[in-house]
């Protein structure tokens, strides 16, 4: 019957030579990099969510302003034409 290498002998030899510390350190280092990588991904997702929320708020604010000045029901090409042909003095004189 064939027997394999006894793991306790391998572990002892690795410990005596100092290799076991390197292997443990490599596993620990890998976990550190995995946590850093996951943290970076989480930060990107949070950033994308903030940008999306900001854009949505800006769009809502713009629509509110357009509605206030009476052009809220116009479509985008009409709004752009209105902006290009109007001046701020017209708004102030009301």
Tell me, yes or no, if the pTM score tops 0.95: no
Looking at per-residue pLDDT, the higher value among 73 and 40 belongs to 40
Q: Number of structural domains, the chain?
A: 1
- SS3 assignment, position 66: helix
Q: Which residue has the tokens 């090409």?
A: 77
* Cα(12)–Cα(20) distance, integer angstroms: 9
Structural domain includes residue 46? yes
In the chain, helix, strand, coil percent, each to 5?
80, 0, 20
Pairwise CA distance, residues 39 & 46, whole Å: 10
- The pLDDT score that the predictor gives to residue 25 is 67
- 88 assigned to some structural domain: yes
User: Is 61 inside any structural domain?
Assistant: yes
Tell me whether residue 64 is in a domain: yes
For residue 76, tell me if it sits in a domain: yes
In a domain, 2, yes or no: no
The 10s digit of each residue's pLDDT in 8-47 is 777 777 777 777 666 666 677 778 889 999 999 999 999 9
Q: Cα 15 from chain centroid?
A: 43
Residue 86 has what pLDDT? Answer: 62
User: How far does Cα 55 stand from its chain's mean position?
Assistant: 15
Structural domain containing residue 18: 7-93
Rounded to whole angstroms, the Cα distance separating 65 from 67 reads 5
Does residue 1 sit within a domain? no
């Amino acid at each position: 019957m064939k027997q394999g290498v006894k793991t306790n002998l391998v572990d002892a030899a690795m410990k005596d030579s100092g290799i076991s510390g390197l292997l443990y350190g490599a596993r620990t280092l890998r976990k550190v990099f995995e946590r850093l990588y996951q943290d970076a991904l989480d930060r990107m997702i949070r950033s994308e969510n903030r940008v999306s929320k900001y854009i949505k708020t800006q769009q809502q604010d713009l629509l509110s302003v357009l509605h206030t000045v009476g052009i809220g029901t116009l479509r985008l090409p009409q709004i752009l034409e209105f902006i290009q042909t109007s001046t701020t003095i017209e708004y102030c004189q009301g």
